[in-house]
Chain A
Amino acid sequence: MIPSSLGGATTENCGYFEYEAHGLAAWIVEGFSPGWRSRPLAAGSMQEVVDLLAPAPVRDRFVCVPVGHWTALLTSGPAGSDVGVLPIYAVRELACRAIRVASVSDSATFPVRMLEVYGPDGTPPLWIERSIVAAKDGARWTFEISGTPYAFEDQAVYANRVKAKRFTEEMLLGYLRALGVPIDGGPDWQQAILVERSP
């Protein structure tokens, strides 16, 4: 299941796009070209993908992993997976919903739970429908929320005196399920597609 700490920075952050994996990979190649290509990865495990996307000075590799009818997007880069502005482009060009998500446990130096949902119903120019973040940003915890609440949200928790408890990992995963992301089925690593800059 992603996000998770199992793959370090590569799987602690990821994007979810409500779009078929091959189509998403082709869209990324088309948008980044010239010089980019895609190919089936046929990864045997998450670890293979994580090794392939080991943090690098520049973001030059993406892996599109089918998760039901959604696609999880993992990337290389100096800070692990980073989908950048692709969710905004996906809303504008693919008219699909895209989610930027992060989960780093409280035992880490900088824990975070982040859910940022982009979609056609969001507010331009960023097209964000909803953003919920609890994170230790430097020395202090911060809790930030914007957009219209979804019906499934437990808003009473947001008033917790302890900011770290206002948005827990369990809440994050529950919200992903409520948004229709079949995270419990797990990513289909065998069907993963690698998008990379041509050597």
Chain B
Amino acid sequence: MRRNGSPCTDAALTFSRSASENSVRPSRTHIRSSPSSSTNRLSFDASTIDTGLALGTTVYSDVRDGRYGSALGHTAFAAVGVFAATRGIKSGTTSSPTPRPASPKASNAPARLPQDVAVNSKPPNALGTNRSVGRASHNQALQADIAALPRDAYGIRVNQQQVNALGQRVGINRPDLQYTLGGRRYYVEYEGLKNPRGELHKARILANDPSAIVRIETID
């Protein structure tokens, strides 16, 4: 897995990985029959996690409480943890920073589109987690990312209209993946090398939800 060198900005992270590279590969052999033991709860094959990821995961683990780090197996998530730590944001479920309502007065926030401003805040029901976002390689990355989410992630939506952490619909745009973790809303956009529209999508997402974390993932 490799970072593509894009700077880590206030609320956006960008990196790339090959289509065939799943950061986490849960295996049937890891299934256990009893919930009594916590020692093997983190059921991922460490050999599938490269050094950089493991380092990042460790840092993120420190940010939370040491229980979820290995379950992440997710470079961007680890980076978000670092970001959260450096910004003094607590990423755990005990934190209660909820996204501020989108506001044109927010600093550095681009203006919202009229169709997003006009949207009714009541959202449709969240649909299936194995929905398609387009190309097979993107779907593969998406499903790996969902499977690697910490167990306290919720509000998961795939290719559905944008909903903030308060459960309010804030736009008619459809981020590839969105979820809530520790009271904060996260969005992921998957883009192809030859069709880099992620930055546009990111700008619109942040206009609708300025306190969100947006990650653009480029798939080879």
A binding-site residues for B, Cβ under 8 Å: 12-13, 23-24, 26-27, 30-35, 55, 57-60, 75, 77-79, 82-86, 88-89, 91-95, 102, 104, 109-110, 112, 114, 116, 120, 124-128, 131, 133, 135-138, 142, 144, 146, 197
Q: Which residue of B lies closest to A29 (CB)?
A: B35
Q: Which of B28, B155, B167 contacts A124 (CB 8 A)?
A: B28
Query: Which of chain A's residues have a CB closer than 8 A to the CB of B25?
Result: 124-125
Cβ-neighbour of B32 out of A55, A93, A112, A138 (below 8 A): A93
Q: Is the CB of A91 within 8 A of B31?
A: yes
B166 and A78 form a contact (CB under 8 A): yes
15 additional contacts (CB under 8 A) given A31-B67, A31-B151, A86-B151:
A26-B36, A33-B67, A35-B94, A57-B96, A77-B155, A79-B123, A84-B151, A84-B156, A88-B146, A92-B30, A92-B31, A120-B28, A124-B25, A128-B128, A128-B129
CA–CA, A183 and B124, complex, Å: 25
Contact A137 B166 (CB under 8 A): no
Min CB distance, A183 to chain B, in Å?
A: 19
Chain B residue nearest to A55 in the complex (CB): B167
Query: Closest chain B residue to A111 by CB distance?
Result: B125
| Distance (whole angstroms) from the CB of B33 to the closest CB of chain A | 5
A-B residue pair count with CB separations less than 8 angstroms: 154
Check A133–B127 contact: CB distance below 8 A: yes
Question: How many angstroms from the CA of A104 to the CA of B156 in the assembled complex?
Answer: 18
Q: Are B167 and A138 in contact (CB under 8 A)?
A: no
Q: Please indicate which of the listed interface residues B33, B38, B130, B156 has the most CB atoms of chain A within 10 Å of its own CB.
A: B130
> Do A124 and B125 have beta carbons less than 8 Å apart?
no
Q: Kindly provide the distance from the CB of A7 to the nearest chain B CB, expressed in whole angstroms.
A: 15
**How many Å lie between the Cα of A144 and that of B36 in the bound state?**
37
A164 to chain B, nearest CB (A): 14
B155 touches A79 (CB 8 A): yes
Partner of A110, one of B122, B148, B149, B155: B122
Across the interface, name the chain A residue whose C-beta is closest to B149.
A85
